[in-house]
Structure 1
Amino acid sequence: MGSSIKCCCSGGLRLCICVTSILFILLLVVFIILFLTLLKPKEPKIVTQSVTLENFNLVLLWPAMKIQLNVTLGMVLTINNRNYGGFKYQDGVTYVNYHGVLVAEAPIENGSIPARGRHNVSLSMTIFADKVIGNSNFKGDNRSGVLNFSSSTTLHGKVSMLKYFKMKATSHTSCDISIFVQNQTIDSDCKSKVRL
């Protein structure tokens, strides 16, 4: 009688361990599937929404034959956090180049974006006129009626998932910017890159 009770207890314990193990494995599989699909870290994106010409003034001063140039660009960037966790990014800078020479820059202050959130950053950049006019390409571009610039912005940060998992993320956007001298208009072509 005593041996049969002992046998029953031992069988119940085995059954309990088996059921617990199966439940644990099922929960683990569900968590892994959720993490690889719904919760998988995605790269935050920087998208250049618009590039505008806030100010443009090109004057030839007589009789000194001196060129005076004033250019201010406006830019709106959208930082899009596509994750189910927050994205915290460090200070960044937007650079504007004219034929490979840095002619303007604007700082971007660090910040954080909640899960599935977006944040707009507005920038205003005054071009260093002397660096444009002193460039060997300026006379030819001015004659053709188009001044070609390029801009680039890179943000480094971390994506936090479930407060425990943190992953480094880098987001980059670049634009080719054309200013048409005659009618004082602007055209831009922008691309975004992301890297985890």
Structure 2
Amino acid sequence: MKNQSKRRCLIAIGAIIFLILLLFIIILILALTVFKPKQPKTQVQSAKVDGVAPSVSLIPLNIRLNLTLDLQILVKNPNHASFKHGTGNSILEYRDKQIGEADIYPGYIPATGSTSFPCRLTLQVDQLASNLTSLITDIIGGHLVMETHTKIPGRINFLGIFKKHVVTSSDCQFTIAFPSLNITKQECKNKL
């Protein structure tokens, strides 16, 4: 009788250990394949000029011209987990010189979903003064090539249990056609 009960106890313990080991292997395989965090992809969807604000000061003589550019930034979440992000930052450059900056407001992107974020970016045209000949040549040529560098910190959340902090960054180069002010070409490199 004692041997039988010891045997049953060993079989039960062995079955429990086997099930725990099997569950651990399944979770490990899922964590390394299906639920491995993938890079959220960021791209500029559209850009349009919204407003022009000239400013002149007489002493010393200083002329400034600011343009407001409305950007729509699309963020695609390829993960099987939601992506909740904090305040991000997007910098606009023309010929390797920063000409504008915008904040991206906090938000939420569902699993395998995408969201478009509006950004209002003020271009400091006086920053373009050093590249004025290049700017005029590009506009007369019908296209203007600019770059954006975007960083968005956030957290990937799977089933409300597993959470991982990530920072997604995107470097995009896009071409704005003149006079239509449409984006005609765009290349982005995303990092996580």
Relative to the length of structure 1, the TM-score reads 0.74
Residue 19 (structure 1) aligns with: 15
User: Which structure has the greater CA radius of gyration?
Assistant: 1
Deviation of 1:32 (Å): 2.0
- What 5-or-longer segments of structure 2 have no aligned partner? 53-62
Residue-by-residue CA offset, 1:87-145 (whole Å, 9 max, x unaligned): 1212112211223332222211112223233211022323222222x21x212441452
**Alignment length (residue pairs):** 178
The question of whether the paired residues in 2 share the 8 Å contact of 1:44 and 1:171 is answered with yes
The whole-number CA distance in structure 2 between the counterparts of 1:23 and 1:106 is 52
Task: Note closer, same or farther for the CA distance 1:9–1:94 as it changes in structure 2 (3 Å cut).
Answer: same
Residue-by-residue CA offset, 1:16-48 (whole Å, 9 max, x unaligned): 222222222222222222222222222222232
Q: How does 1:61-76 map to 2 (within 5 A)?
A: 71-76=67-72
Deviation of 1:170 (Å): 2.0
Q: How does 1:17-56 map to 2 (within 5 A)?
A: 17-48=13-44, 50-54=45-49
The question of whether the paired residues in 2 share the 8 Å contact of 1:94 and 1:108 is answered with yes
Residue 130 (structure 1) aligns with: 126
Specify which of 4, 8, 16 is matched with residue 8 of structure 1.
Answer: 4
Q: How does 1:62-141 map to 2 (within 5 A)?
A: 71-132=67-128, 134-135=129-130, 137-141=131-135
Task: Note closer, same or farther for the CA distance 1:68–1:25 as it changes in structure 2 (3 Å cut).
Answer: closer
The whole-number CA distance in structure 1 between the counterparts of 2:177 and 2:116 is 27
Specify which of 182, 187, 190 is matched with residue 187 of structure 2.
Answer: 190
Task: Note closer, same or farther for the CA distance 1:184–1:138 as it changes in structure 2 (3 Å cut).
Answer: farther
Residue 174 (structure 1) aligns with: 171
The percentage of counterpart residues that share the same residue type is 25
Partner SS, residue 127 of structure 1: strand
Q: Does 1:142 align with 2:136?
A: yes
CA RMSD, 1 decimal: 2.8
